């Protein structure tokens, strides 16, 4: 359904403080956001239309937890850094910024501390957003079934990552050559594959199909 046809008066989005400041400083205070009339993501609701990866509430909470937790393996913060750099690349191709500004944004995104990624919740009037609305292509949209599958298996995925790092020792930062790195990585993966009792995702056929579609 088009934004013009929506009956919801309010749209929601979430972004990091760093992204907001970059938009304000380098893009003339213009903010490019994914907007949705649905604040949260409730799989049990018959009105469910937005997956967790596109839910403002989920994005806000995930960023907040990662900033507060000060974890070195912050997935959402890393994705936000990458998103800022990708956005700068697009703006450069559109000739809306110079190469110098692009390089500065890339440097800022890499050097920024985790605390600079504190989340902001955006509440937007639908009527004001309509003139700037652009529909997202189907191929670029999040997949709700796949998101639901991965969200329900998150504990297992984290357990597998922990075993790969702390039992198979694939995480090592002092390799002296690329060959040494590859040998250590492959040896760790082989050792993990040979384990008798391994955590399993046990994906259903529907979830497998969702992965293929995604």
Q: Is 107 within 8 Å of 18 (Cβ atoms)?
A: no
Burial pattern 117-139, b for ≥16 Cβ within 10 A else e, equals bebeebebebeebeeeeeeeeee
Task: Kindly list the domain boundaries of the chain, sorted by start residue.
Answer: 3-138, 155-213
Query: Count of CB atoms within 10 A of residue 3's CB?
Result: 17
The first and second tokens of residue 57, run together, are: 């509430």
Numbers of helices and strands, H then E, in the chain: 9, 2
pTM of the model: 0.59
pLDDT digits (tens, 9 = 90+) for 1-52: 555 566 778 888 899 999 999 999 999 998 888 788 877 765 555 455 566 6
d(CA 165, CA 160) in angstroms, rounded, equals 9
Report pLDDT digits (tens) over 139-196: 555 555 555 555 556 666 677 777 777 777 777 667 778 888 888 888 888 888 888 7
């Amino acid at each position: 359904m088009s934004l013009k046809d929506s009956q919801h008066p309010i749209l929601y989005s979430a972004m990091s403080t760093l992204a907001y400041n970059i938009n304000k400083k380098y893009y003339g205070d213009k903010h490019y956001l994914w907007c949705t009339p649905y604040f949260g993501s409730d799989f049990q609701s018959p009105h469910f239309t937005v997956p967790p990866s596109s839910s403002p509430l989920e994005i806000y909470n995930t960023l907040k937890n990662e900033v507060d937790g000060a974890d070195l393996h912050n997935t959402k913060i890393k994705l936000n850094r990458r998103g800022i750099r990708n956005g700068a690349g697009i703006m450069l191709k559109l000739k809306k910024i110079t190469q110098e500004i692009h390089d500065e944004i890339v440097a800022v995104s890499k050097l920024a501390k985790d605390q600079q990624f504190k989340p902001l919740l955006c509440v937007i009037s639908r009527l004001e957003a309509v003139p700037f609305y652009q529909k997202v292509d189907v191929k670029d949209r999040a997949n709700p079934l796949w998101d639901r599958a991965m969200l329900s298996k998150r504990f297992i995925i984290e357990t597998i990552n922990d075993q790969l790092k702390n039992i198979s020792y694939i995480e090592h930062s002092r390799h002296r050559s690329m060959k040494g790195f590859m040998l250590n990585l492959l040896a760790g993966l082989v050792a993990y594959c040979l384990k008798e009792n391994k955590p399993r995702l046990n994906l259903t056929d529907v979830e497998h199909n969702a992965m293929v579609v995604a």
